[in-house]
Amino acid sequence: MKMKNILKTAAVLSAAVVMLSASGCADTTWSIKTDTSTLTNGNWIYYTYTSYNSAMSKIQEDSGESFDIKDKNLDDVKVEGKKIVDWISEDAKKSAIAQLTVEKLAADKKIEVDEEELNSIEEQYLYYYNMGQSFYEKLGVSSNTFANVEVKTQYLSDLIFKNIYGEGGEKEVTDDELKKYFTDNYTDYYYIAYPLTEMDDEGNTVDVSDETKDTITENFAKYAKMLNDDGSDTAAVEEQFKTDFSTDTVTKSQNVTILDNAGLSEELAAAIKELDEKKAAVKTVDKTHYVIYKGSISEDADRISDDANDGDAISRISILYNMKNDEYKEYLEAEQNKLKYETNDDCISRYSVQRTIDIIKADS
């Protein structure tokens, strides 16, 4: 009986040693993988960090004030109704799956990568890594991981986009289709602006004098006439402005873009929309006087090109992105939902969201 007990004890101890050995030797170098690519622990760590930043932004947006997590009980901190640790973990996983999806699509579509071009972009972007190198090293994020996440994934996504919608793609957008989208949605606008306020001797913002306001109004009416009736171009108007106001500085904007994305006030954008092409007008918005001008979008369409040597070209690929970006996002999301992947729980547990937050707290 004693021998049986000894053997039984030995078996138990042997099993325990095996379990401890297996646990101690768990491979935590990778986090999530598919049949075509593997994300390292550094990828996962970096995604917990970027998701932490997203969580902080959401909390501050919702509260309308700054937020310091340093002395907070994490169980009490919620993001979109979820505990912050859970939200960050889910968001980091979404980002990781998005990267794996792009890498699998690139592999499946046999996307050819210009390694020289990619390396050049990565080298430029590493400036941002070097700025925070000490912190990234505490997290466990290498420069290679940083470049992999911040550069290579977007680079591959751009190549996939072109593979689908570019020349010879499965959903190729023709020049005629692109030009129609361009002329239907883009606006060619220009303006010069001059404030109707100034600083007084005590540093307060006050309205300009009636005499100054009359001078501004008179000059701006002249600029509109130059553009409408005298055959002058915007360069001539700017020279006249410099002479009239004895300045070398002209507050202006000239762009060919989707007007709703231009960052203009609603009132100014509406005034530009109302203009006929090749016409100028004077408008006062938020105590600023403007002369606004709308160019010919149909003439601009003839300048659409991706010729890097043509300084007057309007980027074809930029228009294509605006045209198809929403559709492309839906396509990527559908592919993400179909992706088959394996998660390394040992890695996720070792390099937890809590670990990332603790390092951030200690560094702040």
- Region 21-45: what's the mean pLDDT? 87
pTM: 0.84
Q: What is the pLDDT of residue 11?
A: 45
Per cent of the chain over pLDDT 90 is 85
Neighbours of 27 (CB within 10 A): 9
Domain coordinates in residue numbering, the chain: 27-171+329-363, 181-300
The answer as to CATH 3.10.50 being correct for domain 181-300 is: yes
Which of 94, 103, 110 minimizes the C-alpha distance to 48? 94
pLDDT one-digit tens code per residue, 84-126:
999 999 999 999 999 999 999 999 999 999 999 999 999 999 9
Is residue 19 packed enough to be buried (19+ CB in 10 Å), middle (13-18) or exposed (0-12)? Answer: exposed
- Region 36-63: what's the mean pLDDT? 95
CA angle 284, 288, 291 (to 5 degrees): 60
Q: Which residue has the tokens 């408008």?
A: 283
Give me the residues paired with residue 151 across strands. Answer: none
* CB-CB contact of 277 with 295 (8 Å): yes
* CB-CB contact of 297 with 183 (8 Å): yes
Q: What is the pLDDT of residue 282?
A: 98
pLDDT one-digit tens code per residue, 228-287:
999 999 999 999 999 999 999 999 999 999 999 999 999 999 999 999 999 999 999 999
